[in-house]
């Protein structure tokens, strides 16, 4: 028999050997090939080299291409552990609000809004984990100035569930490993947001909006596109942790007054069966519970987030040196670039300011845009008056500089 004729026989012998001894599956979340013997119940991550050595010991040779083709084929069924977990849960009893019961172990300064958003957050996590939405762009965040168990409360959401191994604590917001985390986890817990630099925040925003991740799968020669599964939660002990001056709609922040954990005892949130919480969230997901924030909720959240933002240099200087005054009250019309020039002069050229940040700062101050004409051209700007006493105290603070 020719060597060409031997190849299909060898392939069938290898497949028959593996089928009789092992079960295989491809985990679509961990992006791993997994296996177990027919007698075992626990699955393990496959080390392809170990399998090759075993086949060599059994007398098989020259099987590299055949084995690779087999392990990439439908011979290895796809397994989705997130879907498996939710489908294995006993149905919600449709009576007890387990989500609300759990949420109320945390008291916040905006309890009604928090309770509504906590429920939406859990259902949104289910939707993200099951690829029902492209990306969950929000990070549900707790703030308090004390170590009161914020991180542990979030960790408890997956402890004792079939999703516990698909949680990650903190990531670097750059590189392939960080992107891979979006496909390989159900929840990413950012437990000290105050440590994020402005650059980190911008990278985090980009991650929150990622929907697909390019990954190299086992035995593949080129990258594949995998769906994002992960949602973000976070916590911080520092009030002014938001450093993004372009808007913070992606962060849903709540100031925590207390968390009843009872040190893990029966009177704390551990008393709630977390699997019943997720069963309720899964039921709500399947019954089209709204997961996205509506227009009013976005406005409420952004207004709330203003308390957690770091004021820009432009904002601080405008508050110090200018007062909003209408045209009728004698206000002077300033275009943003003129304000940049004046504030830079007042700071003796030691700061770098932008017209964009001037506009955002004035909006934050509640100063409305106005229009006037310079020559034949209509231009936009703001009516303000300079606080001459404050300006005169600065090295560049001559009050008679013309505009």
How far is 132 from 135, CA to CA, in rounded Å?
A: 9
Taking the domain 313-392, which CATH number applies? 1.10.10
Question: Residue 7 — very low, low, confident or very high, per pLDDT cuts 50/70/90?
Answer: low
State which H helix or E strand residue 300 sits in.
helix 295-305
On whether the pTM is more than 0.75, the answer is yes
Q: Nearest Cα to 166, choosing from 223, 128, 211, 222?
A: 128
Q: Under 8 Å CB-to-CB from 158, ≥6 apart: which residues? A: 164, 166, 167, 186, 187, 274
Tens of pLDDT, residues 151-191: 999 999 999 999 999 999 988 888 778 888 999 999 999 98
* Segment 287-297 mean pLDDT: 95
Mean pLDDT over all residues of the chain? 87
Sign of the CA dihedral running 80, 85, 88, 89: negative
Q: Nearest Cα to 25, choosing from 67, 64, 88, 73?
A: 73
List the domain boundaries for the chain: 3-79, 82-308, 313-392
313-392 matches 82-308 in CATH topology: no
- Over the range 314-334, which residues count as b (16 or more CB within 10 Å of their CB) and which as e? bbebbeebbebbeeeeebebb
Architecture of the structural domain at 82-308: 3-Layer(aba) Sandwich (3.40)
Q: What percent of the chain clears pLDDT 70, i.e. is strictly above it?
A: 91
Q: Which of 242-246, 290-294, 394-398 has the highest mean pLDDT?
A: 290-294
Maximum pairwise Cα distance, the chain? 103
Tens of pLDDT, residues 101-135: 999 999 999 999 999 999 999 999 999 999 999 99
Q: Nearest Cα to 219, choosing from 62, 36, 20, 49?
A: 49
How far is 215 from 224, CA to CA, in rounded Å?
A: 5
376 φ/ψ angles, rounded to the nearest 5 degrees? -100, 0
- In whole angstroms, what separates CA 131 from the centre of its chain? 15
């Amino acid at each position: 028999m020719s060597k060409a004729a031997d190849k299909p026989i060898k392939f069938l012998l290898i497949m028959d050997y593996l089928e009789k001894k092992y079960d295989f599956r491809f985990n679509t979340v961990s992006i791993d090939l997994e296996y177990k013997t027919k007698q075992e119940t626990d699955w393990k991550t496959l080390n392809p080299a170990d399998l090759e050595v075993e086949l060599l010991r059994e007398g098989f040779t020259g099987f590299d291409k055949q084995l690779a083709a087999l392990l990439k084929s439908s011979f290895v069924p796809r397994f989705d552990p997130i879907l498996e977990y939710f489908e294995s849960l006993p149905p919600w009893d449709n009576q007890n609000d387990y989500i609300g019961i759990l949420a109320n172990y945390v008291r916040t300064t905006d309890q009604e809004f928090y309770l509504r958003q906590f429920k939406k957050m859990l259902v949104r996590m289910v939707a993200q984990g099951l690829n029902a939405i492209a990306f969950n762009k929000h990070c549900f965040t707790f703030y308090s100035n004390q170590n009161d168990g914020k991180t542990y409360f979030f960790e408890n959401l997956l402890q004792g569930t079939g999703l516990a191994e698909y949680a990650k604590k903190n990531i670097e917001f750059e590189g392939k490993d960080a992107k891979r985390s979006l496909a390989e986890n159900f929840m990413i817990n950012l437990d000290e947001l105050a440590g994020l630099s402005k650059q980190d925040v911008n990278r985090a925003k980009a991650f929150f909006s990622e929907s697909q991740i390019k990954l190299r799968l086992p035995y593949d020669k080129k990258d594949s596109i995998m769906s994002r599964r992960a949602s973000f939660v976070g916590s911080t002990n520092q009030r002014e942790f938001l450093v993004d001056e372009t808007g913070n709609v992606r962060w849903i922040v709540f100031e925590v007054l207390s968390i009843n954990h009872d040190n893990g005892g029966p009177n704390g949130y551990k008393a709630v069966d977390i699997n019943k919480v997720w069963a309720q969230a899964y039921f709500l997901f399947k019954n089209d519970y709204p997961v996205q924030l509506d227009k009013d909720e976005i406005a409420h959240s952004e207004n709330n987030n203003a308390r957690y933002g770091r004021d820009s240099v432009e904002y601080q200087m405008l508050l110090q040196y200018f007062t909003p005054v209408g045209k009728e009250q004698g206000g002077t019309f300033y275009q943003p670039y003129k304000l940049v020039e004046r504030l830079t002069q007042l700071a003796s050229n030691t700061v770098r300011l932008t017209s964009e940040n001037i506009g955002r700062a004035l909006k934050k101050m509640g100063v409305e845009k106005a229009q006037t004409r310079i020559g034949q051209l209509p231009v936009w700007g703001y009516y303000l008056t300079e606080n001459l006493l404050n300006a005169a105290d600065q090295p560049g603070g001559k009050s008679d500089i013309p505009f």
